[in-house]
Amino acid sequence: MVMRRYQRLLLNIFSVVSVVLLWHYLSANNLISPLFLPPPERLVETFVEMALSGELFLDIGMSTVRILIGFIVAFLVAVPLGLLAGSNDIIRNLLKPWVQLLQPIPGVAWVPFAFLLFGLSNSAAVFIIGIAAFFPVFINVMTGVQTLDRDLINVAKTLGANKLQMITKVILPGVVPDLIAGSRVGIGLAWRAVVAAEMIGLPQGIGSVLIDAENTAQTDVMVVCMITLSVLMMIFEKMIFESLEKRVERWKGIDEE
């Protein structure tokens, strides 16, 4: 069944509203303990309180800044290395064993090591985020270069492209879809890693609020933080990737939903 855009939107809204209503009904009739799940209206109150006190934004801001810096560092290292490894057999095979060894280690597993190396500091956060985001970006860029149509490179050569032009006008634009896919996964992993690091010991940040709320049995604060985190990740994705993806979808001939 082909659905129109507004029909899909109506279904989305219906789904959310009906779950919230059910949740409200269960809470209002004491069928579910507020200790496990506070009523939705309580969450709205908590959100407003935390927002007005500035506490929420301060922690969100801290996590976001850590993510941004860590991701930019990872991106700046992963993209050139991915380009090099994708286009040069020797470099690829020199890096291969390290990638295979280090890539499966989850970002969270780097937390103790980072704390040992940098202490409970923002440098530790940048290190953890950098490691988590590096591999998906690097691997995607490398694969993108390897699978790029050789004829496109040859056309550029016959039209007179020098090495720099080859990278900036052929290879980089050619790997944009892979770069977007890698960055998407990278940012997702970076968020998971930074929240875990903040929960384990980093001062401030949304993860530290979450763990404080758990210690003081403030379920409403916990849920508000989780929902805020999810919304934040969605905004991040939309801001960074949506416009880029729109153009890629058009040249790849992917129909918009």
Binding site for another protein (CB under 8 A): 149, 151-152, 154-162, 165, 169-170, 173-174, 176, 247-248, 250-253
Residue 173 parent element (H or E): helix 172-174
Tokens of 95: 């890096």
CA distance between the termini of the chain: 13
Query: Would you say 32 or 166 has its CB closer to another protein?
Result: 166
Closest to another protein by CB, 35 vs 164, is: 164
Please say which residue, 73 or 152, places its beta carbon nearer to another protein.
152
User: Nearer to another protein by C-beta: 5 or 252?
Assistant: 252
At its nearest, how many Å lie between another protein and the CB of residue 3?
Answer: 25
Closest separation in Å from C-beta 174 to another protein: 7
Of the candidates 28, 38, 7, 89, the residue with the CA atom closest to the CA atom of residue 226: 38
Q: Which is nearer to another protein, 151 or 242 (CB)?
A: 151
Q: Which pair of tokens denotes residue 18? A: 């009906």
User: Which run of H or E residues covers position 97?
Assistant: helix 89-102
Question: Smallest distance, Å, CB 252 to another protein?
Answer: 7
Closest Cα to residue 187, out of 71, 88, 41, 26? 71
Please, what is the minimum distance in Å from the beta carbon of residue 246 to another protein? 13
* Separation between Cα atoms, residue 57 and residue 224, nearest integer Å: 12
> Residue holding tokens 């879809």?
177
Q: Which is nearer to another protein, 153 or 240 (CB)?
A: 153
- DSSP code per residue over 2-24: ---HHHHHHHHHHHHHHHHHHHH
Minimum CB distance to another protein, residue 47 (Å): 42
Give the nearest distance from C-beta 177 to another protein in angstroms: 9
DSSP codes of every residue in 32-64: S-TTTS--HHHHHHHHHHHHHHSHHHHHHHHHH
CA distance 228 to 60: 8
**Distance from C-alpha of 31 to C-alpha of 37, rounded to nearest angstrom:** 11
Q: Nearer to another protein by C-beta: 24 or 169? A: 169
- Rounded to a whole number of angstroms, the minimum distance from the CB of residue 253 to another protein is 4
